A = this chain, B = another copy of it.
Amino acid sequence: MTDTTPGRRGGRQLPTAEELRTWRGFIETTAALSSRLESRLQGDSALSTGDYAVLLALSEAQGQAMRSSELASHIGWERSRLSHHLGRMERRGLIRRQECATVPRGAEVLLTKVGADAFAGATVPHLRAIRELFVDALTPDQIVAAGEIATALRARLDTLGKG
């Protein structure tokens, strides 16, 4: 394992072999974690994490309803993505869409009973899975460190922008 130290010249260099190993472990493990959580949720409640995010937002909204674009920005999705997803959720009866009374071109998304029940049944197993797969896997110090790492990475993403 020859050392590929880029070092010197303080400029824009490539990662070292060690940094790359850490990177791969980190990104692959977090992906695996997401995917495991997804399949746990699916198995426990027949919902995807996307469904869960939508249902969570709607169940917390007053009237259990939100405008489509409001919902999109609340959960941080592109409108196109939300529109596709709502179409699938509507086919399964989890939500309903209707024209918004107040805003002419607006669409109002409503939580149905089926959706509310599905969400109610999903939340405890989902939180339990988060506890088992994340919280219980780490020491308290590591949880704090994970939070700080996420904050630092997020800051970097934000400052670099889409570039």
Residues of chain B lying within 8 A (CB to CB) of residue A142: 145, 148-149, 152
> In residues 4-31 of chain A, which contact B (Cβ within 8 Å)?
12-15, 19-23, 25-31
Say whether B30 contacts A30, CB under 8 Å: yes
With A30-B153, A33-B27, A157-B33 known as contacts, the answer to whether A143 contacts B14 (CB < 8 A) is no
**For chain A, which range describes its interface: under 10, 10 to 19, 20 to 34, or 35 or more residues?**
35 or more
Number of copies: 2
1/0 per position for A112-142, CB-CB distance to B under 8 A?
A: 0000000000001001101111111111001
Q: List 15 A-B contacts (CB under 8 A).
A: A14-B128, A15-B135, A19-B135, A25-B147, A25-B150, A25-B154, A27-B134, A28-B150, A29-B151, A30-B30, A133-B156, A138-B149, A142-B145, A145-B145, A149-B149
